[in-house]
Every structure is written in structure tokens, then in C-alpha cells.
């Protein structure tokens, strides 16, 4: 539907609309005060024209000064009633229009007060200042009802506008909330991808660096061992490229054409992980205590990545030394403890630690994401310790110790299994004198 505002500039269209309203009100005012041809006329006909002109000329000002315009239109209607010029309620049309504007624009209390005063004046003019008769009563009541109906319609329009404004505000807040949630999820996904890539690249590159270091060290004195290290280096870099290619491929897939991904690593792959570090010359022993259980995929991946990152840091900072991995299984927790003895006494240098990075930060974030906690710091006797406590779900099914032994009996997992009645506990707390999260030893671990 085409509107007038679409063709005319807004100020001109508004002036034309106000002129049309005033002209219509003027005509209706005159129709409501037709002069009767009898002796009851108490004022000349020119009075009707004067009252109509004054009342309708004030209408265009009602948006800027609604209360003064309401006073003018009400007084003109009262004078028309007193002068016996009001034969029909059409005389109060200007007052009706102003009453509607006040009901729409003014506060409810102010509008109600003004409209009640206007109605009282009209009622007094019709019943007190004129001879009381049945026709006078009906004409006065109908005259008062017209502005009140206009006021009710104005209040309804005001409520409708307020409702639409509230709905629009709610929609804007919902849109902002959705955008904020989307940004938060994107940021979380970026952190997750960065953490996965860091763990993947740091592990493989650290192993490759260690193998290259061993090969370079024994290149002249023990060429056979150097060749073995180089063959391991080729395999390590190939695996790193394959995993990077698979990860990038998953990121490039669209949601509709996503292909099944390989299962995420977990503690079931712990023997393979330990063996990869042993091939670099790091001596790793694994101790378990308590009945192992099946962890949910997310928790299983978290435990695996924490052990992987901690051993990667040992390789980077302790060189060819000794490390211990401890797993303590209880009903509510699985506690991981990774310790090392510090730089070994071997002549082979360890990989450069660099300037530090996000290793400890990533491990803490992983532990916190599953409701656990992680602390790390120096050991008084030398070396470094990482302890992570990860909660186990209540619905988890606990497997027997024998089943856990069979699952990990590849030879890489146990070089001395702790028992409840003998041996030092694996998940020992950090000593009180030990500085947690000591970045001086690790450079905040890359």
C-alpha cells in the first residue's frame, strides 16, 4: 500500500496531514452546531464559526503543547454548549482529537487528571448552566463520552507502542546475546584447536629434535646408533605430517560433508606414547595403583594429553634423564603424577627449551575443562613434578585390576606397579616448601 509519506518530504507531509485533520474537525464542529430556526437561539450564528476556527486552529500545536490545546478545545466546546450551539456531540471533535493525543503522549497520571477535568467542565456546562431536561442530560452524557472513548483508544495505542518497543528491545538483547554467545564459542573453539595443535606439534617436533640430537651426537663415534636415530626421525616426522594433515582436513570439512574422524587418543595408547619417548633416550617408568576404569572420551583424551605434554617438557628441559608416570585410580578421581630427576649426567645435550610457551597453561585448561585441577612445581630433591586430579563420573564402570593389567601388558606400562601395602604412593602431594607453577625451571613450558 502506497502512503503519502512515500511521495512527500516528511515535514511537508506532516503539515498536510495536520491541515487535513484541522479542516475535518472544523467541518464536523459546524455540523454539530447547525442553527435551529426557533426562538431558543441565544447567540448569533457567527459565534459557531468563531469557536470552530479557534478550536481547530489550535489542533496543529497539540504535539508540542498538548495541555494548552486541550484547554482551548475544551473551553470552545463548553462555550458552544452554553450558547446552545451544540446540537450534536460533533462539536467536541477537536477536544476528542486532543484527548487522544494526550493519552498517547503524556504520562498516564497526567493524562487521566487532564481528561477528568475536561469531562467535569463539559458535564457542568451541560447540566448546570443549561435548563435541566431529558434531552439535555442525554446530549451532555453523549458529549462527555466521546472524549473519554478517544482517551481510552489513546491509552490502548500507548500500551501497544510500549509493548512493541519492549519486544524490539528484547529482540535486540536476544540478538546481542546470540552474537556474544557465538563469539564466545568461536573463541573457545579457537583455544581448543590451538591447544590440540600445540600438543600435537610440540610432542612430535620435540621427539624429532631429540632424535636428531642423538643422531648428530653419535654420528662419528657410533654410526649405527646414529642411523637408528635417523630412521626413527623419519618415522616421527612422517607421523607428525600425517596427524597435521588429518587435523587440517577435519578443519576444512563443511558440516554437511564431514567424514568420520579417527578415534581420539586415550590412555589405551599410553604404551605407544611411552615407547616413543623411550626411543629418544628418556628412561620412563609407569606405575599404577588402584582398579582402573573406563573413562569418558573427553576425560580420557585429557589424561592422555597431560601425560604427553608433561613428558614432552621433560624431554625438552631435562634432556636424556629419567621420568616417572603415576596413575592412581580411586572411586571419584584419577590422579596423574609425572616427575623427573632434572637434567641427566649424560653427555648428550637435550633440546633447547626456547623462550617458553603455553604448555602449562594448556594443561591447566584441560584439567579445568573436565572439573579437575593441576599443579606443577620444582621438587626439593631436584627435577619437576606435575600433578593432575581429574574427577571420574559416578556412572563409570570400574574394571578389575587384572583386566587393566592385561590391557597394558605390552611391557611399556609397568616397570614396578605400586600396591596398597607397599611402595611409595605415586600421587604424592607437592611439598610445602615447593614453589608451584615454577616457571624458572620450565620457562612456562612451550
Question: pLDDT for 64-88, tens place per residue?
Answer: 888 888 888 888 888 877 776 665 6
What pLDDT does 45 receive?
65
pLDDT at 237: 77
**Backbone phi, then psi, for 127, in 5-degree steps?**
-105, -25
pLDDT tens for 385-432 read 999 999 988 654 444 433 444 444 444 333 443 433 333 334 444 444
Measure the CA–CA gap between 133 and 127, rounded to whole angstroms: 9
Angstrom distance (rounded) from CA 148 to CA 92: 11
Q: How much of the chain, in percent, has pLDDT values that exceed 90?
A: 9
Inter-axis angle of helices 46-57 and 66-82, nearest 10: 170
Q: Which residues contact 76 (CB under 8 A, 6 or more apart)?
A: 51, 52, 54, 55, 94, 95
> 283-289 and 333-340 as β-strands: parallel, antiparallel, unpaired?
unpaired
311 CB neighbour count, 10 Å cutoff: 26
pTM for the structure as a whole: 0.46
Angle at alpha carbon of residue 383, lines to 426 and 203, rounded to 5°: 85
**Domain regions of the chain by residue span:** 4-175, 267-446
- CATH code reported for the domain at 267-446: 3.30.565.10
Residue that has been written with the C-alpha cell 507502542 in this structure:
161
Query: What's the whole-number average pLDDT of the chain?
Result: 73
Task: Give the chain's largest Cα–Cα span.
Answer: 139
Residue with cell 582436513: 249
Q: Which residues, at least 6 apart from 112, have a Cβ–Cβ distance to it below 8 Å?
A: none
Give the tens place of pLDDT for each residue, 293-328: 788 888 998 899 899 888 888 887 766 678 999 999
Mean pLDDT of all residues in 341-346: 62
Digit-coded pLDDT (tens) for 164-221: 989 999 998 998 888 888 888 888 888 777 777 776 666 677 777 776 777 777 777 7
250-256 average pLDDT score: 58
The residues pairing with 223 across neighbouring beta strands, listed in sequence order, are: none
Query: Which pLDDT score, from 0 to 100, does residue 263 have?
Result: 62
Q: What pLDDT score was predicted for residue 301?
A: 87
Is the pLDDT assigned to residue 380 strictly greater than 80?
yes
Amino acid at each position: 500500500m502506497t502512503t503519502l509519506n512515500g511521495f512527500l518530504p516528511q515535514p511537508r507531509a506532516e503539515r498536510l496531514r495536520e491541515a487535513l485533520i484541522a479542516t475535518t474537525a472544523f467541518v464536523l464542529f459546524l455540523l454539530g452546531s447547525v442553527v435551529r430556526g426557533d426562538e431558543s437561539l441565544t447567540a448569533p450564528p457567527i459565534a459557531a464559526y468563531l469557536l470552530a476556527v479557534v478550536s481547530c486552529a489550535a489542533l496543529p500545536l497539540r504535539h508540542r503543547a498538548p495541555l494548552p490545546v486541550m484547554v482551548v478545545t475544551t473551553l470552545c466546546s463548553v462555550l458552544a454548549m452554553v450558547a446552545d450551539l451544540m446540537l450534536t456531540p460533533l462539536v467536541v471533535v477537536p477536544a476528542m482529537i486532543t484527548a487522544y493525543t494526550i493519552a498517547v503522549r503524556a504520562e498516564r497520571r497526567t493524562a487521566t487528571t487532564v481528561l477528568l477535568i475536561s469531562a467535569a467542565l463539559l458535564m457542568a456546562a451541560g447540566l448546570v448552566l443549561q435548563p435541566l431536561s431529558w434531552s439535555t442530560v442525554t446530549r451532555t452524557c453523549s458529549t462527555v463520552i466521546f472524549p473519554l472513548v478517544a482517551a481510552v483508544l489513546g491509552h490502548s495505542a500507548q500500551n501497544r507502542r510500549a509493548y512493541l518497543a519492549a519486544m524490539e528491545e528484547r529482540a535486540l538483547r536476544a540478538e546481542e546475546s546470540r552474537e556474544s554467545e557465538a563469539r564466545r564459542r568461536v573463541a573457545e573453539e579457537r583455544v581448543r584447536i590451538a591447544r590440540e595443535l600445540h600438543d600435537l606439534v610440540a610432542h612430535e617436533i620435540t621427539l624429532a629434535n631429540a632424535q636428531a640430537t642423538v643422531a648428530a651426537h653419535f654420528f662419528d663415534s657410533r654410526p649405527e646408533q646414529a642411523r637408528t636415530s635417523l630412521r626413527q626421525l623419519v618415522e616421527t616426522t612422517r607421523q607428525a605430517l600425517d596427524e597435521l594433515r588429518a587435523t587440517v582436513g577435519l578443519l576444512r570439512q563443511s558440516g554437511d560433508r564431514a567424514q568420520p574422524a579417527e578415534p581420539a587418543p586415550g590412555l589405551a595408547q599410553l604404551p605407544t606414547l611411552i615407547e616413543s619417548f623411550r626411543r629418544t633416550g628418556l628412561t620412563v617408568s609407569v606405575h599404577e595403583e588402584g582398579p582402573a576404569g573406563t573413562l569418558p572420551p573427553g576425560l580420557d583424551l585429557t589424561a592422555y594429553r597431560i601425560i604427553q605434554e608433561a613428558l614432552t617438557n621433560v624431554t625438552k628441559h631435562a634432556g636424556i634423564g629419567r621420568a616417572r608416570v603415576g596413575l592412581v585410580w580411586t572411586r571419584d578421581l584419577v590422579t596423574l603424577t609425572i616427575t623427573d630427576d632434572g637434567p641427566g649426567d649424560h653427555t648428550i645435550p637435550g633440546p633447547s627449551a626456547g623462550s617458553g610457551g603455553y604448555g602449562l597453561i594448556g594443561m591447566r585448561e584441560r584439567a579445568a575443562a573436565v572439573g579437575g585441577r593441576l599443579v606443577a612445581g620444582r621438587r626439593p630433591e631436584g627435577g619437576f613434578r606435575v600433578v593432575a586430579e581429574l574427577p571420574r563420573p559416578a556412572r563409570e564402570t570400574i574394571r578389575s585390576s587384572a583386566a587393566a593389567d592385561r590391557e597394558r601388558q605390552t611391557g611399556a606400562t609397568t616397570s614396578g606397579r605400586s600396591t596398597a601395602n607397599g611402595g611409595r604412593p605415586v600421587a604424592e602431594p607437592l611439598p610445602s616448601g615447593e614453589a608451584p607453577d615454577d616457571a624458572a625451571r620450565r620457562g612456562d613450558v612451550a
